Amino acid sequence: MKFHIITIGCILNRSESQRMRYLLEREGHEYTDNPEEADILIINTCTVKTPSENKTYRLLRDYKDKKIILTGCLIQHQPEKFESYPLVGIYEIDKIVDAVKNLLSGKIVKYLEIKRINKLSIPSIDKYPIKIIPIQEGCLWNCAYCATKLARSLLQSFPPRDIYLEIRDAVKKNLRMIYFTGTDLAAYGIDLGINLADLLYRVREIAGDFYIRVGMANPGIINKFIEKLLDSYDHPRILKFFHIPVQSGSNRVLKSMGRGYTIEEFYELVKKIRKRYYEASLATDIIVGYPTETEEDFKKTLEMIEEIKFDVINLSKFWPRQKTPAFYIKPLKGEIVKDRSRTVKRLFDTTARDRNKIWIGWEGYCIVEDRGRGNSWVCRNYAYKQIIVKNNENLLGKILKVRVENVTAVDLRAKIIDKVEDPYPGILEEKKLY
């Protein structure tokens, strides 16, 4: 049997797709990159925004003649919308083989139980040179707009030893980029009596040539151990990248959202990060057009963007998600929301470009992470800055020495100085900006 997996949404979803693929290939099934060739199509869904949900419906229409299994957050959140399809929930991805067997014999099964499962016990089919490691799932907050919380309701941190073994496996496979992912990494270890900093202290000492990128961590928790976390980052194997979602620059809106912190606390958090690692990449998430957001509230968000100069903004228009408290609040007019989104994007294009200019002239090392367009390659340096180089050779996974010559709002444009044939562990931090 040939199968294909379409993954919608976040890196955590990607990891779960990779692990389901392993289980199916171990059973003797064949993966195909072409969905048209597949006997069974698996769609790993996302519930975070309405466009993600609509993409699922579009795929179901496009492949209506295919045998389809649905997995992921959307079907965990709203299973009643997909009664005619086999469903494999996020806490039972180990049942994907059974779901396939049943579908091939004409049976529709649904595995939606909420239970603890150590997903690290399932190997993954990785995409070179990246290893995605989910270190936890679930969240302590109850944000008024968030449907992901309704899907991934169970807080669970995976054992440090299993994470350690995942990294050891990545080193053996020469997967240099380690992505720590989860629902909220700030909550890692709360159920184990440790925290994220404790984990980083342990894994950064593993022997081998690898670099860890820490994923999204909410400010409400991370504030409680930020000094220890910053200390744990002080190692060449930990990339200087922080993804801390603020959502709004207005305390009134943050309170309405149920975010659990003030904008003053967020500013203080950023101040501590930038003081310790000024050149670190600082990413955030912003929602515009939240139902309670006034023009004055929106102005405060713009002022925040202007002052902080984020390296990355994941910008989203507010989408009312069913079963969330915000779903029942009267929404703003669509044109207002669209206009605010355009305004934020224009401002970010200016502030991010200005921020990136500090890198012009920098010479240092980066790892080639992915293919770009044409003969371009996407690289990352020790601060997880996206660097674009051009070369006709296959450079995937290589370490390059580069010189940054120009910048855009989203990346640095560089020239290759040298290709490092035998890099030593930690080489990315050999040439720091400061």
| Domain span(s) for CATH 3.80.30.20 in the chain | 119-357
Give the pLDDT confidence score for residue 422 in this predicted structure. Answer: 87
pLDDT exceeding 70 applies to what percent of the chain?
100
Q: What residue spans of 180-282 are helical by DSSP H?
A: 196-203, 219-222, 226-232, 251-257, 263-276
- Which residues fall within 8 angstroms of residue 249, CB to CB, at 6 or more apart? 263, 297, 300, 301, 302, 303, 304, 305
Give the pLDDT confidence score for residue 434 in this predicted structure. Answer: 81
Each residue's pLDDT tens digit, 178-211 = 999 999 999 999 999 999 999 999 999 999 999 9
CATH 3.20.20.70 fits 360-429, yes or no: no
Give the pLDDT confidence score for residue 17 in this predicted structure. Answer: 99
Give the pLDDT confidence score for residue 142 in this predicted structure. Answer: 93
Give the pLDDT confidence score for residue 287 in this predicted structure. Answer: 99
Enclosing H/E stretch for 24: helix 11-26
| Domain span(s) for CATH 2.40.50.140 in the chain | 360-429
Token readout for 357 is: 């200019």
β-pairing, 376-380 with 386-390?
antiparallel
Q: Could you say which residues of the chain have pLDDT below 70?
A: none
CATH 3.40.50.12160 fits 2-111, yes or no: yes
| C-beta separation of 261 from 220 below 8 A | yes
CATH 3.30.230.10 fits 119-357, yes or no: no
Residue in the structure block whose two tokens are 């149920």? 258
| Domain span(s) for CATH 3.40.50.12160 in the chain | 2-111
| Helix 11-26 vs helix 96-104: crossing angle, to nearest 10 | 60
pLDDT exceeding 90 applies to what percent of the chain?
98
What DSSP line would sit under 134-157, residue for residue? E-EE--S---TT-SHHHHS-S-EE
Each residue's pLDDT tens digit, 226-258 = 999 999 999 999 999 999 999 999 999 999 999
What DSSP line would sit under 365-408, residue for residue? EEEEEEE-STTEEEEE-TT--EEEEE-SS--TT-EEEEEEEEE-
Q: What is the pTM of this model?
A: 0.97
